[in-house]
Amino acid sequence: MNAESGTADSVTEGLTDVASARLALVERLQEDGVLTHPRLRDALSLLDRETLDGFDRPTLLDLGSGTGQVPAALLPAVPRVTRLDLVDRDSDMLRTAAEQLRPLHGQAAVAFHAVPAEASSAPVDGYKADLVTCARAFHWLDRPAVLRTVDRVTGPTAAVAVMGDGSLWTYGAHWIAALKALIQSYLGDGRRAGTTGTYTEPSSHYEDDLAESAFSKVTEYRFPVRRTWTPDQVVGCLRSTSFAHPASFDEPDTPPEQAGRHARFEREAHALLEEYVHGEGLVEDAVFTVLLARRGGAV
Residue of 29 and 175 predicted with greater confidence: 175
pLDDT over threshold 60, residue 38: no
- In terms of average pLDDT, the best of 71-85, 161-175, 263-277 is 263-277
pLDDT digits (tens, 9 = 90+) for 198-210: 666 666 789 999 9
Enter the pTM of the model.
0.78
pLDDT digits (tens, 9 = 90+) for 238-264: 887 888 888 888 766 666 666 688 999
Question: For position 184, what pLDDT does the model report?
Answer: 93
Instruction: Quote the mean pLDDT of the chain.
Output: 82
Question: For position 31, what pLDDT does the model report?
Answer: 41
Question: For position 65, what pLDDT does the model report?
Answer: 92
Question: For position 48, what pLDDT does the model report?
Answer: 82
pLDDT over threshold 90, residue 77: no
Would you list the DSSP string of 34-92? SSS-HHHHHHHHHHHHHHSTT-SS-EEEEES-TTTHHHHHHHHH-TT--EEEEE-S-HH
pLDDT over threshold 90, residue 299: no
Measured between alpha carbons, how far is 152 from 278 in angstroms, rounded to an integer? 51
Question: For position 145, what pLDDT does the model report?
Answer: 96
Measured between alpha carbons, how far is 277 from 229 in angstroms, rounded to an integer? 9
pLDDT over threshold 90, residue 76: no
pLDDT band at 88 (very low <50, low <70, confident <90, very high): very high
pLDDT digits (tens, 9 = 90+) for 50-68: 888 878 889 999 999 988 8
Question: For position 245, what pLDDT does the model report?
Answer: 86
Question: For position 14, what pLDDT does the model report?
Answer: 41
Strands 154-164 and 282-294: antiparallel
Residues 6+ apart with CB under 8 A from 158: 51, 128, 129, 130, 131, 132, 294, 295
Residues 6+ apart with CB under 8 A from 290: 43, 46, 47, 161, 162, 163, 220, 221, 222, 223
